[in-house]
């Protein structure tokens, strides 16, 4: 069910054990060929498809389109909450939901820059509510839920998510082809991190002049349809695990 469609008495009557899912995304540059709302559009579609499977067993909040995108700010159009602001925003949302009595809260992420803040937000919230044994606080990212899309569709040339890459461009070509630019002459940009496995602070400008990372040249709408099917199924399967949690135990 959609939180925004309910009256407050209807929300109060919702079973507290229903998972509440907060989709979190971004509004940021996606190369010269994709709209700045790409991450929010893609996650919105994945949520729409997963919600068809889960029906009224999950409460969905509206998608939070403002994300942690400071590494893209040199590119026009990017809107971003500073990392600490964003961390506090997620923490406040968790506090709101726990305050209303919900016990299973999931931050469902669709943007790379949100991964660390979302993980930190659920970690900090668990410390705030450390006396409770009936809370399940989770953060996850849709492309990290287990499937290897290039094993399902061997025509995918990338083996991981990039940025405005083959995967994201394919999904936009399927979802909103009129918003995608010509990809026929776009050159690949390596996703390599030279100091791997260390975590290196980075801004997008130093890795990519056009703004994309990966190989959008190989994107097709058919690949996008496959990716949506894989990712929405992964999200639905994951949320089934959240629904099945016994409400109190670590392994539950
Ligand atoms: Zn993206």
* Alpha carbon of 210 to ligand 1 centroid (Å): 14
Q: Residue 18: is its pLDDT beyond 90?
A: yes
Q: Residue 69: is its pLDDT beyond 90?
A: yes
Residue 40: Cβ within 10 Å count: 23
State the Cα–Cα distance between residues 51 and 159, nearest whole angstrom. 27
The pLDDT of 180-205, averaged and rounded, is: 95
* Alpha carbon of 131 to ligand 1 centroid (Å): 37
* Alpha carbon of 39 to ligand 1 centroid (Å): 4
* Alpha carbon of 92 to ligand 1 centroid (Å): 25
* Alpha carbon of 95 to ligand 1 centroid (Å): 27
The pLDDT of 108-136, averaged and rounded, is: 98
Ion ligand 1: residue ranges with CB closer than 5 A: 39, 168
The pLDDT of 146-175, averaged and rounded, is: 97
* Alpha carbon of 25 to ligand 1 centroid (Å): 9
> Tokens 């492309």 identify what position?
143
The pLDDT of 203-231, averaged and rounded, is: 98
> Tokens 């461009």 identify what position?
169
The per-residue DSSP string of 39-85 comes to HHHHHHHHHHHHHHHHGGGSEEPPPB--B--GGGTTSTT-BB--HHH
Q: What percent of the chain is predicted at pLDDT more than 70?
A: 100
* Alpha carbon of 86 to ligand 1 centroid (Å): 17
Helix runs in the chain, H state only? 8-13, 38-54, 83-99, 115-128, 149-152, 166-175, 204-207, 221-244
Residue 143 banded pLDDT, cuts 50, 70, 90: very high
Q: What is the pLDDT of residue 180?
A: 98
* Alpha carbon of 3 to ligand 1 centroid (Å): 25
* Alpha carbon of 178 to ligand 1 centroid (Å): 18
Q: What is the pLDDT of residue 214?
A: 97
139: left (phi over 0), alpha (psi -120 to 50) or beta: beta
* Alpha carbon of 29 to ligand 1 centroid (Å): 8
The pLDDT of 231-243, averaged and rounded, is: 98
* Alpha carbon of 38 to ligand 1 centroid (Å): 6
Q: What is the pLDDT of residue 252?
A: 84
* Alpha carbon of 162 to ligand 1 centroid (Å): 8
Q: What is the pLDDT of residue 189?
A: 97
Question: Mean pLDDT for the chain?
Answer: 97
* pTM of this structure: 0.97
Q: What is the pLDDT of residue 49?
A: 98
């Amino acid at each position: 069910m959609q939180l925004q469609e309910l009256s407050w008495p209807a929300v109060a009557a919702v079973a507290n054990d229903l998972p509440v899912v907060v989709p979190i995304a971004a509004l940021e540059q996606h190369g010269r060929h994709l709209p700045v709302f790409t991450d929010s559009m893609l996650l919105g579609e994945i949520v729409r498809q997963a919600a068809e499977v889960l029906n009224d067993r999950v409460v969905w909040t509206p998608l939070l389109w403002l994300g942690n995108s400071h590494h893209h700010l040199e590119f026009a159009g990017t809107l971003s909450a500073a990392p600490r602001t964003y961390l506090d925003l997620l923490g406040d949302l968790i506090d709101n939901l726990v305050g209303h009595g919900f016990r299973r809260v999931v931050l469902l992420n669709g943007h790379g820059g949100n991964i660390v803040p979302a993980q930190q937000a659920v970690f900090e919230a668990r410390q705030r509510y450390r006396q409770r044994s009936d809370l399940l606080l989770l953060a996850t990212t849709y492309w990290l839920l287990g499937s290897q899309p290039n094993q399902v569709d061997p025509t995918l040339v990338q083996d991981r998510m990039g940025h405005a890459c083959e995967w994201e461009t394919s999904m936009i070509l399927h979802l909103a082809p009129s918003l995608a630019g010509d990809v026929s002459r776009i050159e690949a940009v390596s996703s390599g991190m030279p100091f791997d496995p260390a975590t290196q602070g980075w801004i997008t400008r130093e890795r990519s002049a056009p703004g994309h990372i990966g190989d959008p040249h190989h994107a097709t709408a058919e690949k996008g349809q496959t990716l949506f099917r894989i990712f929405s199924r992964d999200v639905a399967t994951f949320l089934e695990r959240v629904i099945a949690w016994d409400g109190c135990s670590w392994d539950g």
